[in-house]
Amino acid sequence: MLRTFDGSAGWPALRSRFAGRLPETTLAGLDAAVEFAVQRHGEQRRPAGEPYAEHLLEALDVLVEAAGERDPDVLRAAVLHDVVEDTPTTLDEVRERFGPGVAELVGWVTKEGDRAAYLQRLRGAPDAALAVKLADRLSNVQRLRTHPRPAKRAAYYRETVATIVPLAAGRGWFEEWYRQWQADHADLDTTDPDTTDPAV
C-alpha cells in the first residue's frame, strides 16, 4: 500500500512525534520556520480546500519520517519552500531570518517565470534541494485524485512522471515511493486537452 502523509494534526502534534528523533535545537529552528510560514501563507488553501500549512508539514514529515533527513537547513527549507513563490516574502528575507543555507535551498525550489525552464533547472540542483523538491511534490501528488479538476489530475500526473520521477532515480526511499505511486495512478494518464497549466 502506498504510504501517505497527513499534516492535518498540526505542528504541535508533529513536533511531539519528532521529539525523540530530532535535537531540541533543530525543533526550535522548526518552531520559528513554521510560525513564519503560517503567518506568511495566511488563509491560503490547497486545491482540495485544506489549509496550506498542511502541505508544508507533510513535506517536512516525509523528510523526517521516511527519508531520514536530519539536516536542520533542509528541514526548515521544506517548511519554507513555497514562501517566496506564493507570498510577498523575498529570498533576502529568508536569508536574513534563517541563514544562507536555507535561502539557497528555497531559491532552488522556487519557480520564477517559465515552468518548463524551472523543471529543467532542477536537474542540476544539489542533493539537498532535490530532497526538498521530492518531498514537496510527494505531498502534492499523494492524494492527486482529490484534486477538483480531472484535467489537472491528468496533466499533473504526466508532468510528475516526465520531470520528477527521474529526479528520484537512485534516491532510495523516494525512488521506490514514486515507482509505486506511478503504477497506482497510471489510470490518470488520459488525453484530456486541458493540459496548459498543471500547477496544483
Catalytic residues: 85-86
What is the number of helices (H) and of strands (E) in the chain?
Answer: 12, 0
Give the DSSP letter of residue 123. G
> Helix, strand, or coil here: 7?
coil
* Other beta carbons within 10 Å of 127: 8
Nearest to 157 by CA among 190, 179, 132: 190
Cβ density class 165-180: b for 16+ within 10 Å, e for less: bebbeebeebbebbee
Q: Return the DSSP state at 114.
A: -
Q: Which helix (H) or strand (E) holds 176?
A: helix 173-184
CA–CA gap between residue 98 and residue 101 (Å, rounded): 8
If we measure between CA atoms, which residue out of 143, 138, 131, 129 comes closest to residue 58? Answer: 138
